Amino acid sequence: METTITDVIVIGAGAVGENVVDRAIAGGLEAIVVEHELVGGECSYWACEPSKTLLRSGAALRAAQRVPGAAEAVTGGLDADAVLARRDARVGDWDDTGQIRWLDGIGATLVRGHGVLAGERRVRVTAPGGDEALLEARHAVVVATGSTPRLPDIDGLALARPWTSREATSAERVPERLAIIGGGVVGCELAAAWASLGSEVTLLTRSGILSKFEPFAGELVTAGLRSLGVDVRTDCSPDAVRRDAVDAVVLALPGGAEVVADEVLVATGRRAGSEDVGLETVGLAPGDWIDVDDTMRVRADGLGWLYAAGDVTGRALFTHQGKYQARAAGDAIAARAAGAPVDDAPWGAHVATADHAAVPRVAFTEPEAAMVGLTAAEAARRGIRTRVVDYDLGWVAGATDRADGYEGRANLVVDEDRRVVVGATFVGQDVAELLHAATIAVVGEVPIERLWHAVPAFPTISEVWLRLLEGYGRPGHEGAA
């Protein structure tokens, strides 16, 4: 078998793999990317993009309904067919021609097929027709193979043909009744989306709702989902799931109650997409999250040529954070290949430091929940001496302008020893766009004293920053009324 030699090989052309290739090429290297499905990966076709499109129409409708004058002009509900058609257009009808054009444009080589490591700096690719090819990298191989849904061990579940996020983001019809297992971001976003489109949704979750956020986010989103008609049941997990004689799915709950639906979506977390990438050929355990340092280089003796980025590392399962890791990896690989210095100190040019303390995330639910950095509980777990200030967004002029009866809440978690913000959460209509200011404050470690000089425009929802700072008190004016 002939071997093709290049500088860098990336396995997986999701958003993360694409960005590794982009940075490596920008750094003067040649790169091949191997993809066995669609270039663009989960985010483009079965995750971020279709789910946000399914959610947007309902959010826009409700926003209009909350503004007298506009509300009177809303005379009907959502047109589900039009929403689904917009979703189909957004994902390019699950065709990756556009993304291939982009890869061509940056000078990357795409090899279609399933790639597995085959020992040091080598990748074996099995093409869709079964032909095999061997690739060898002069400098680095990067595993960017993402993650897959994790199915809990519930009796009968696998046989009941459950939806994963893939089916739930690509469905062609609105199910009359949808049961969802899991109250994390996937469960809550897709509950909001399908309830808005007319499904009767029941959401069962073992924990609370959005338990990785501040508790007030879970409370407000639970109320918001219920206002859409979602039957939210926390501390609840089915014992067994089956399809009945008329093909309905029946979820048996502890105590004998049942939930009957047309489809059941399992949204109980993800596992590493590392089971079938040949990790065993280099001494790593298949199926595990791949452990990397902050330049995204695998932490294991003798594997200085092997990197991983994105979901497969388990560091922060978000597209934006994976792309950030990809930039670090691609730049570090190029620097090492050129024998140039690698700036791997915290916040250096070649590291993904923000993964540890400043990951922004938005749950595009009803209402939106957005956070960056640490929750108050996480900060306490890390031993940080904090003070938490919070504020009712319904009192902010920009919010009341935006919607009558605006409901929302925000908080800042302040590190009292360093006098910097280490976490911020905003929950309410249209808060997603507020988040980046908080990310800059956390990453920039902007002293509270200086934040007083960042004046939010009136009347924007961002004025909540001023209210939060007033709640905290102006350092040096503690005695002032």
Report the interface residues with ligand FAD, using CB under 6 A. 11-17, 34-37, 41-43, 47-48, 51-52, 114-116, 144-146, 165, 169, 186, 273, 276-277, 310-311, 317-320, 322
Residue 181 touches which of ligand FAD, ligand NAD, none (Cβ within 5-8 Å per kind): ligand NAD
Burial (Cβ within 10 Å: 0-12, 13-18, ≥19) of residue 157 = buried
Contact 8, 142 (CB under 8 A): yes
Binding status of residue 237 toward ligand NAD by CB under 6 A? yes
- Kindly tell me the sign of the dihedral angle through the C-alpha atoms of 40, 43, 46, 49: negative
Nearer to ligand FAD, 196 or 467 (CB): 196
Site map for ligand NAD, 180-199, x if CB under 6 A?
-xxxxxxx-x----------
Query: What gap in Å lies between CA 424 and CA 370, rounded to an integer?
Result: 8
Give min distance, CB of 120 to ligand FAD, in A.
Answer: 18
Give min distance, CB of 309 to ligand FAD, in A.
Answer: 7
Give min distance, CB of 14 to ligand FAD, in A.
Answer: 2
Give min distance, CB of 138 to ligand FAD, in A.
Answer: 20
Nearer to ligand NAD, 204 or 441 (CB): 204
Please provide the distance, in angstroms rounded to a whole number, between the alpha carbons at the two ends of the chain: 80
Nearer to ligand NAD, 147 or 199 (CB): 147
Q: 């009767």: which residue's tokens?
A: 200
Stretch near ligand NAD under the rule CB under 6 A, chosen from 2-10, 15-23, 357-365, 383-391: 357-365
Residue 164 touches which of ligand FAD, ligand NAD, none (Cβ within 5-8 Å per kind): none
Nearer to ligand FAD, 191 or 451 (CB): 191
| Sequence-ordered list of residues with C-beta below 8 angstroms from that of 192, at least 6 positions apart, any chain | 55, 58, 224, 225, 228, 230, 364, 365, 366
Query: What gap in Å lies between CA 148 and CA 167, rounded to an integer?
Result: 13
- Kindly tell me the sign of the dihedral angle through the C-alpha atoms of 464, 469, 470, 472: positive
- Cross-strand pairs, 111: 34
Residue 81: enclosing H or E segment and its boundaries?
Answer: helix 80-90
Binding status of residue 318 toward ligand NAD by CB under 6 A? yes
Query: What gap in Å lies between CA 264 and CA 247, rounded to an integer?
Result: 12
Give min distance, CB of 281 to ligand FAD, in A.
Answer: 13
Peptide bond into 367 cis (omega under 30): yes
Stretch near ligand NAD under the rule CB under 6 A, chosen from 71-79, 191-199, 359-367, 449-457: 359-367
Q: Which residues carry a binding-site annotation?
A: 52, 115, 145-147, 182-189, 269, 311
Contact 242, 255 (CB under 8 A): no
> Residue 241 is encoded by which pair of tokens?
């799931």
Nearer to ligand FAD, 51 or 398 (CB): 51
Nearer to ligand NAD, 68 or 254 (CB): 254
Peptide bond into 459 cis (omega under 30): yes
Query: What gap in Å lies between CA 63 and CA 4, rounded to an integer?
Result: 55
Nearer to ligand FAD, 182 or 398 (CB): 182
Residue 182 touches which of ligand NAD, ligand FAD, none (Cβ within 5-8 Å per kind): ligand NAD
How far apart, in Å, are the Cα atoms of 249 and each of 178, 261, 332?
A: 9, 5, 50
Q: 């996480």: which residue's tokens?
A: 378
Residue 17 touches which of ligand NAD, ligand FAD, none (Cβ within 5-8 Å per kind): ligand FAD
Nearer to ligand FAD, 46 or 465 (CB): 46
Q: Which residues carry a binding-site annotation for NAD(+)?
A: 182-189, 269
Q: How many CB atoms lie within 10 A of CB 457?
A: 8
Q: How many Cα atoms within 13 Å fall on the side-chain side of residue 381?
A: 6
Site for ligand NAD in 196-235 (CB under 6 A): 204-207, 211-212
Give min distance, CB of 207 to ligand NAD, in A.
Answer: 3
Query: What gap in Å lies between CA 9 and CA 265, rounded to an integer?
Result: 35
Give min distance, CB of 415 to ligand FAD, in A.
Answer: 26
Site for ligand NAD in 92-111 (CB under 6 A): none
The contact set with ligand NAD (CB under 6 A) reads 152, 154, 181-187, 189, 204-207, 211-212, 237, 267-270, 317-318, 361-364
